[in-house]
């Protein structure tokens, strides 16, 4: 406020206005039957507000890979695009792995595609891939005998 940029009242008003715009099912007359409907409406409103930005703008570069993949896929699917595995993410992951015998870059790309499809599979099953991977890693580590 001292430098003329903003004051607490302006911050409160801006945040209140944004909450009302992005939650018309609470503050307006929009209907959202499911949590997915709420999320789709919220993303649609955000896109309207940020029309000059791309679909993937604002995703932090420093996000862990599974979190970034989940965010990218979720935004794409929310905007009406198919996930990287189409309607069958597990089949797409298997197909990506069919080229494992290929040389370095092709093999690396195939592994990446398979991992992306598995993240999509987790999303479609409402499983957080980071949490699932952390739990699986812990189970694996616990099962490996300690070195002497």
Alpha helices in 5-57 (DSSP H): 8-22, 24-27, 35-49
pLDDT: which is higher, 131 or 33: 131
Task: List pLDDT tens digits, range 56-100.
Answer: 988 999 999 999 999 999 889 888 898 887 778 888 888 877 777
- Under 8 Å between Cβ of 89 and 120: yes
Residue 148 pLDDT greater than 70, yes or no: no
pLDDT band at 139 (very low <50, low <70, confident <90, very high): very high
Identify how many contiguous H helices and E strands the chain contains and give both numbers: 7, 0
Read off φ and ψ for residue 115, nearest 5 degrees: -60, -40
Tokens representing 137 are: 């890693």
Q: Could you tell me the two tokens for 95?
A: 């197909």
Task: Over range 34-47, report the average pLDDT.
Answer: 80
Give the model confidence (pLDDT) of 26-38 as tens digits: 777 778 788 888 8
- Considering only residues 132 and 26, tell me which one the structure prediction assigns the higher pLDDT: 132
Task: Please state whether the predicted TM-score (pTM) of the whole model is above 0.85.
Answer: no
């Amino acid at each position: 406020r001292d430098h003329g940029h903003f004051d607490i009242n302006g911050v409160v008003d801006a945040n209140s206005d944004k909450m009302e715009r992005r939650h018309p099912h609470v503050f307006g007359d929009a209907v959202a039957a499911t949590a997915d409907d709420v999320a789709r409406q919220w993303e649609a409103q955000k896109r309207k507000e940020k029309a000059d930005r791309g679909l993937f703008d604002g995703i932090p570069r420093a996000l862990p890979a599974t979190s970034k993949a989940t965010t990218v896929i979720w935004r794409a699917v929310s905007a009406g695009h198919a996930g990287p595995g189409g309607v069958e993410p597990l089949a797409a992951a298997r197909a990506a792995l069919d080229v494992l015998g290929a040389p370095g870059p092709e093999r690396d790309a195939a592994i990446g595609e398979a991992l992306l499809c598995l993240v999509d599979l987790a999303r479609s099953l409402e499983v957080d891939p980071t949490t699932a991977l952390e739990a699986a890693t812990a189970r694996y580590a616990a099962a490996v005998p300690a070195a002497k």
